[in-house]
Structure 1
Amino acid sequence: MEEVLNSIQIKQFIEEGFVRIDNAFPAEVAAEVRSILWKDIDADPNDPATWTKPVIRLGMYSQPPFVQSANTPILHAAFDQLVGKDKWIPCMSMGTFPVRFPSAEDPGDTGWHVDVSFGDSANFLEWRANWRSKNRALLMLFLYSDIEENDAPTRIKVGSHLDIARLLKSHGEEGLSLLEMVAQFPSLPEREEINATGKAGTVYLCHPFLIHAAQRHQGAEPRFLAQPPLLLRKELMQGSETGVFSPVEIAIQIGIGG
């Protein structure tokens, strides 16, 4: 397939840490996904009185609509452009779904963070990330429902991936745990915050180091979003062997001052 991201979008990804792709997968597929998820939710989609929790977390899903949404020609072409051909593994599961409901209650999971990517501890807070982004090529936000400003869109700190690259480089291959990174956030530069809004079928492809956070749902309809990683087939930051670096790697180089 022809390249789907133009030079302006590639530049935005490198400098701001994300690019938004509208109609990355069909809205009809998003509806199929929501239908499957509702079957596992102890609530009535047509009765807000049954929406008693601010967030419900559902397990791993690998049914055809989920896999189809993650593997459209548009997305595969974008993965090639951002990560490099033959460097990523097709996404065959959408991971955990945090389904958010309108609520005045604090969901308790709205802190800023960077997704970690390796570790062997049962405690996920002890998992780590390093400057090569071991195992993880991209952070991805798949919108399975229409998400506007009040519908608990994911919050993004624009350009924060550059700060994290610099922070992680000083800690070598071992990197930092999730809690260790969060402890350093107050010392990082102030960054503009934006909300990842869009219609069902929209996908945000984000640099793996991008700082992001959930927020309370203040809208009217339940929000369906998945946040799976795009996993690596080949380790990043090996481009010196060929002289060619991907946009993900270029951003890391800029962050560390290379």
Structure 2
Amino acid sequence: MPNINRTGLGEARVEDFIERGYLRLDGAFSTDLAADIRGILWKAMGLSPDDPDGWTKPVIRLPFMTAPPFVAAANTPVLQAAYDELVGAGRWIAPTGLGTFPVRFPSLDDPGDAGWHVDMSFGTDDPDFMQWRVNVRSRDRALLMLFLFSEVAEEDGPTRIRVGSHRDIARQLLARGEEGLTLGELAADGFASTAHCDEVLATGEAGTVYLCHPFLVHSAQPNRVGRPRFMAQPPLLPRADFDPAPPPSPVQLAIRRACGL
């Protein structure tokens, strides 16, 4: 039977999200659906799970996918309920697919994309991604999400997360108001302001989803000896700019607490 979690988050888990900057949902979509999606991704890469000799690159990036299985995985009842609880009912746009997909293969080569960062949310038309921006109200992004489509253990190159780092980033962004900061400006010191944070790994069974605060500092890492790792890292988009009139969402509360507001 498909293993789908159908429980709500509850106050304790929402509070944990506010303080730690992420929560893990096991069984957010079924393992059967994850297997169907892996099959589509293998085909898109022109590779086979049964032919390791073809896995010659440390990472292959696949674009946003809109086929029905991707839409279904992003919109299960448990995920939509979680979006409501963390972002606010009616304040997010239902995902029309999933992406991008950094598929990581076991390799001793440098993947060239491992480094601490925050996902930027606006100004992304600039060809220089170091000029992409984020501001203190998280314009154009409601959540960062990590969808696991294969089992991911510690040796499979899981995403690294700095726990509570969203608070440090919120304080840095506060002084820059609406214009915010570029990735280049935030990364100038190597995200030293978050070096004190504990680190966790985004591991789990296929069907696990990590719902993360938009300011959470995270990093890819090489998959040196593990299995091919399939995951997607889409944003959840807001329906409109954060409105100060309604009660603040947990995403907004995390920013306000960090900034002493």
TM-score scaled to structure 1, two decimals?
Answer: 0.95
- In 1, the alpha carbon distance for the partners of 2:169 and 2:88 equals 22
- The alpha carbon displacement at 1:3 in A equals 6.9
Aligned to 1:107: 111
Q: Specify the alignment match of 2:83 in structure 1.
A: 79
Once the two structures are TM-superposed, the CA of residue 44 in structure 1 deviates from its matched residue by 2.5
Measured after TM superposition, the shift of residue 183 of structure 1 is 1.3
Partner of 1:39, secondary structure, is helix
What is the Cα deviation at residue 228 of structure 1? Answer: 0.2
2:15 maps to what in 1?
11
1:192 is the counterpart of 2:198: yes
| Paired position in structure 1 for 2:3 | none
CA distance in 2 between partners of 1:228 and 1:251 (Å): 21
- Number of residues of Structure 1 aligned to a counterpart in Structure 2: 254
Q: Distance in 2 between matches of 1:188 and 1:149?
A: 22
Q: 1:197-236 counterparts in 2 under 5 A?
A: 197-236=203-242
Q: How does 1:135-150 map to 2 (within 5 A)?
A: 135-150=140-155
Rounded Cα–Cα distance in structure 2 between residues aligned with 1:143 and 1:99: 11
1:50-89 map, 5 Å:
50-89=54-93
Contiguous gaps of at least 5 residues in structure 1: none
Render the CA deviation track for 1:205-249: whole Å, top value 9, x for unaligned.
00000000000103432100000000011212x33x23x111000
| Greater Cα shift, 158-167 or 2-11 | 2-11
Residue identity in the other structure for 1:213: S
Give the C-alpha shift of residue 107 in structure 1.
Answer: 0.5
Match for residue 44 of structure 2?
40
Are 2:96 and 1:92 equivalent residues in the alignment?
Answer: yes
**Structure 1 counterpart of 2:14, which letter?**
I
Q: Does 1:178 align with 2:183?
A: yes
Gaps of 5+ in 2: 1-5
TM-score normalised to the size of structure 2?
0.94
Supply the AA of the counterpart residue of 1:68.
A
- Structure 2: distance between partners of 1:231 and 1:44: 33
Check 1:121–1:190 CA distance in 2 against 1; reply closer, same or farther (3 A cut): same
Cα distance, 1:122 vs structure 2: 2.2
CA contact (8 A) 2:168 2:193 kept: no
Asked if structure 1 preserves the Cα contact closer than 8 Å seen for 2:157 and 2:226, the reply is: no
Question: SS of the counterpart of 2:152?
Answer: coil
| Partner of residue 252 from structure 2, selected from 246, 249, 253 | 249
What secondary structure does 1:125 align onto?
helix
- Matched residue of 1:205: which SS? strand
Output one character per residue of 1:185-205: Cα deviation in whole Å (capped at 9) or x when no partner: 124451101001000000000
8 Å contact from structure 1 (residues 61, 94) kept in 2: yes
Mapping for residues 149-168 of structure 1, pairs under 5 Å: 149-168=154-173
**Cα distance in structure 1, aligned partners of 2:8 and 2:235:** 20
SS at match of 2:12: helix
Indicate the RMSD between aligned Cα atoms, in angstroms. Answer: 1.3
User: Match of 2:177, as an amino acid?
Assistant: G
Shift of 1:11: 1.1
